[in-house]
Structure 1
Amino acid sequence: MSTQPDHGHELIPRPEHTPDALRAALAVVDPGRLDEMQAQKDEAFAKAVEWQSLSPVRSWVLVWARDIEIARRPDLAVRYARAQSRLEHEDPATAREALRELSSVLDEAMNAVRE
């Protein structure tokens, strides 16, 4: 597990960017997504072989590190869930604000895992 700045309460430390560490972290913060993670991992590794490139594997790692960052930090998880729930709001301004907030949460999480 790596060190990171304090974001308030965190459910678990930020995991290393390895498949095993990410899987172990997901098993704690969002175990219902383990099958999804495995399916996407299998797809990324198959593409890596087909394309003769590690790019799909790197992308898989970053996407799951980002999603785990959101799940392990209640502050981000609440913002993410609230924004998602308002994406299809009948008021267009509310929906646009939800999209901006969702983008902000995703950016914050991605920046954190790239530190």
Structure 2
Amino acid sequence: MSTQADHGNELIPRPELTPDALRAALAIVAPGRLDEMQATKDEAFAEAVEWQSFSPVQSWVLMWARNIEIARRPELSASYAEAESNLEHEDPAVAREALRELSTVLDEALRAVRE
């Protein structure tokens, strides 16, 4: 695991961008998602073979690094959960704001893992 800049109360350090490091981090911050991670990894590797491209594997790594970034940072995780819970709110303004916040959280997490 790398020692990146502190973003507040992080549960674990930011993992390296390797399948093993990401899996180890997920086992700590969201162990209930390990089966989902494995299934999407299998799909990404199958697509990589079919397409003769590393692009699906690179996308898989970034997707899970982003997901782990959110899970390892409680304030980001809370913002994500709140926004997600309001996506289908009956008030369209609340739903729009939730979509904006969700996009902001995802963008912030992706920027952080690309540092």
- Give the TM interval when normalised to the shorter protein: over 0.9
TM-superposition CA deviations, 1:11-65 (whole Å, max 9, x none): 0000001101000000000000000000000000011111110000000000000
In structure 1, how many angstroms separate the alpha carbons of the residues matched to 2:109 and 2:65? 8
Match of residue 101 from structure 2 = 101
Question: What residue identity is the alignment partner of 2:47?
Answer: K
Question: What residue identity is the alignment partner of 2:86?
Answer: R
In structure 2, how many angstroms separate the alpha carbons of the residues matched to 1:2 and 1:24? 13
Matched, 1:71 2:107: no
Match of residue 31 from structure 2 = 31
Q: For structure 1, which runs of at least 5 residues remain unmatched after alignment?
A: none
Q: CA RMSD in A?
A: 0.5
Q: What is the CA distance between 1:3 and its match in structure 2?
A: 2.3
In structure 2, how many angstroms separate the alpha carbons of the residues matched to 1:5 and 1:97? 29
Question: Equivalent residues in 2 for 1:4-83 (5 A)?
Answer: 4-83=4-83
Question: What residue identity is the alignment partner of 1:3?
Answer: T
Q: For structure 2, which runs of at least 5 residues remain unmatched after alignment?
A: none
Q: TM-score, normalised by structure 2?
A: 0.98
Q: Number of aligned pairs?
A: 115
Q: Which runs of 4+ in 1 moved over 6 A?
A: none
